[in-house]
Amino acid sequence: EAQVTQNPRYLITVTGKKLTVTCSQNMNHEYMSWYRQDPGLGLRQIYYSMNVEVTDKGDVPEGYKVSRKEKRNFPLILESPSPNQTSLYFCASSRSGTLNTDTQYFGPGTRLTVL
Amino acid sequence: GNSVTQMEGPVTLSEEAFLTINCTYTATGYPSLFWYVQYPGEGLQLLLKATKADDKGSNKGFEATYRKETTSFHLEKGSVQVSDSAVYFCALGGSGGSNYKLTFGKGTLLTVNP
């Protein structure tokens, strides 16, 4: 089954404790992206990747890092989480970065709480 | 820059009622327009899309027409069901400086009562 998986689905942590949210897709997609969803703000892009070793900032990259060492994986790293990073995070992938034609597939989301 | 404005929710309807969720956009160039749906506890799924002016996207009884003259992409369904209860997001992509991301509206929560 074609899918985007994220782990963990739920995470409660404390300020400053480094964490990684994993994202994996099994569709051989070139493009992957991270979004955060906050009430009243919709989804905002954090980072995206056009292919292996090619990443770029989205609208709200501060406090986040990403890497794309393999095509299928695109982990999101919070080196020193803060309470304002409490949010619902979605990973997405598509065949290419041509988003006016390609469909983006979303993972189930990771709900992160930073105390 | 690009932006999407959709009607504020929540929207509460009875089963079999007519649904309209308004969406307007601002963009340079010729974006594609999308409606995504998020069911409770799940990720977003593409509901329908339109890639050029006057295109009509449709799926599962939902429809939306890409109106360039009014910069709108309103979502409609003639008879909603309880199973349509979800959050609906309007989005645009592939335009100007936003070739590599989707710009989303804030989402509209729809609740359909039996």
CA Rg value for chain A: 13
Secondary structure (H, E, C), chain A: CCCEEEECCEEEECCCCCEEEEEEECCCCCEEEEEEEECCCEEEEEEEEEECCEEEECCCCCCCEECCCCCCECCEEECCCCHHHCEEEEEEEECCCCCCCCCCEECCCEEEEEC
Cβ–Cβ < 8 Å for A25, A90: no
pLDDT above 60 (res A48): yes
Secondary structure (H, E, C), B89-114: EEEEECCHHHCCCEEECCCEEEEEEC
Cβ–Cβ < 8 Å for A47, A66: yes
pLDDT above 90 (res B2): no
pLDDT above 60 (res A1): yes
Alpha-carbon gap: B113 to the closest alpha carbon of chain A (Å): 23
pLDDT band at residue B97 using 50, 70 and 90 as cut-offs:
low
Q: CB distance A99–B107 less than 8 Å?
A: no
- Which residues 50-89 of chain A have a CB within 8 Å of chain B? 50, 56, 58-59
pLDDT above 70 (res A73): yes
pLDDT above 70 (res B99): no
Contacts of B95 in chain A (CB under 8 A): 100
**Between A77 and B28, residue with greater pLDDT:** A77
